[in-house]
Amino acid sequence: MKIVVLAGGLSTERDVSFKTGDMVSKALRENGHQVILLDVFMGYSDKREDVTDIFEKSEEASIKVSDIPEIAPDIAKVKASRKDQSDCFFGPNVIEICQMADIVFMALHGENGENGKIQATFDLFGIKYTGTGYLSSAIAMDKGLSKQFFRSHEIPTPAGFIMTKENRVDTCSKLGLTLPCVVKPCCGGSSVGVSIVYKDEEFKAALDEAFKWENELVIEEYVKGREFSVGVIDYKALPIIEIAPIKGFYDFKNKYKAGSAVETCPAELPDEITEKMQRYAEKVAKVIGLDTYSRTDFLLSEKNEIFCLEANTLPGMTPTSLLPQEANVIGLNFNQLCEKLIEISLKKYEK
């Protein structure tokens, strides 16, 4: 098949997306496909070119990827580096090349890649892509909205509320908050802008940090406990993985710096809790409509209470990412997993 692996974009997870895209591209080429790794924002070139035979020179046309930095990218610098300085989110030739592909493998993370906007655009252009559709993407991306879905379907989630810049309150006592609490951007990913607040005087700084990234925040109760993630493919839960950061919490640095966290799969849990957490992950997928694959994050409190944090519609896809580790436990190696996700995604277009 002719496949575009779409990465990059303008989210705080831009660099993470490139690593996912690079690994997926290599796997799909090993599987015998013609693959182009394309930056959705920068595009193929800064001028109009004849791209009719681009899949014949796919490796030459693909972007080159380096390691993930320990800090999120400077998006203003990324925007300024695009030569054509167009207001269009899609870079030169992106739509045309994607239309030529049999399917686009969505290796994007964060804003636009996971909020449904690109999926909706592709639907209108008749472009096939991996992963769930625009509406379920938008719901899952908005942590405040998805928490409402969880509550209305009896999926346990930490108590919390939304704060906007317009309605900002810097004093915990005026909000009736019980500390510690968690402050995080409503639609961000990779824990960028997330803070755990233990003292009143830390609250304003946490708001300042989170509001640097978005105009809407989720503020929720802090649940002390163990961290887990459950991948779901075609509404069926994979084995659970436990993530134990060596220092601090599972922030951007601990997610992507080798050796910063201990990951155990299958997680060492009683059968009853394993079953319950997997059923919750499957329920999240059904409730939000994540019809191909997803990954849902959980906390298990010291009292063995399960709390659902969020659902990821385009989870990381490197051999050491959480979803591939879970799939490997059931005998699905990385190359096979990439092929499986394409196979399931294409079935949607047969209906």
Question: 63 falls in which pLDDT band (50, 70, 90)?
Answer: confident
Same domain assignment for residues 250 and 165 = no
Same domain assignment for residues 23 and 108 = yes
Task: Report in angstroms the alpha-carbon separations of 335 from 8, 60, 71, 191, 326.
Answer: 21, 22, 29, 28, 14
Question: 110 falls in which pLDDT band (50, 70, 90)?
Answer: confident
pLDDT for residue 34 is more than 90: yes
**What per-residue confidence (pLDDT) applies to 252?**
45
- Cα distance between residue 169 and residue 221, in whole Å: 17
CATH code at 68? 3.40.50.20
What's the number of domains the chain is made of? 3
Same domain assignment for residues 119 and 268 = no
Same domain assignment for residues 92 and 200 = no
- Cα distance between residue 24 and residue 131, in whole Å: 14
In a domain, 345, yes or no: no
Same domain assignment for residues 148 and 236 = yes
Higher pLDDT, 55 or 112: 55
On average, the pLDDT of the chain sits at 90
Same domain assignment for residues 199 and 286 = no
**What per-residue confidence (pLDDT) applies to 5?**
97
In a domain, 339, yes or no: no
3-state helix, strand, coil in the chain (%, to 5): 35, 20, 45
pLDDT for residue 27 is more than 80: yes
CATH code at 281? 3.30.470.20
Its domain, for residue 97, covers 2-129
In a domain, 95, yes or no: yes
In a domain, 337, yes or no: no
In a domain, 262, yes or no: yes
Same domain assignment for residues 182 and 230 = no
Same domain assignment for residues 29 and 41 = yes
Higher pLDDT, 64 or 32: 32
**What per-residue confidence (pLDDT) applies to 251?**
46
pLDDT per residue over 273-323, tens digit each?
A: 999 999 999 999 999 999 999 999 999 999 999 999 999 999 999 878 999
Which of 198, 221, 244 is the last residue in one of the domains? 221
In a domain, 351, yes or no: no
- Cα distance between residue 189 and residue 196, in whole Å: 16
Which of 129, 148, 183 is the last residue in one of the domains? 129
pLDDT per residue over 337-347, tens digit each?
A: 999 999 999 99
In a domain, 167, yes or no: yes
Same domain assignment for residues 41 and 110 = yes
Determine the Cα angle at 179 with ends 195 and 173, to 5°.
Answer: 110
**What per-residue confidence (pLDDT) applies to 258?**
54
Indicate the pairing of strand 34-39 with strand 2-7: parallel
CATH code at 215? 3.30.1490.20
Same domain assignment for residues 119 and 149 = no
pLDDT per residue over 269-278, tens digit each?
A: 999 999 999 9
* Region of poorest pLDDT, from 58-62, 92-96, 259-263: 259-263
**What per-residue confidence (pLDDT) applies to 83?**
84
Element (H, E) at 29: helix 14-30
pLDDT per residue over 117-172, tens digit each?
A: 999 999 999 999 999 999 999 999 999 899 999 999 999 999 988 999 999 988 88
**What per-residue confidence (pLDDT) applies to 190?**
53
Same domain assignment for residues 269 and 216 = no
Which of 221, 244, 267 is the last residue in one of the domains? 221
Q: Which residues of 71-91 are buried (b: 16+ CB within 10 A; e: fewer)?
A: ebbebeebeeebeeeeeeebb
In a domain, 340, yes or no: no
**What per-residue confidence (pLDDT) applies to 256?**
45
pLDDT for residue 109 is more than 70: yes
**What per-residue confidence (pLDDT) applies to 68?**
66
Same domain assignment for residues 242 and 305 = yes
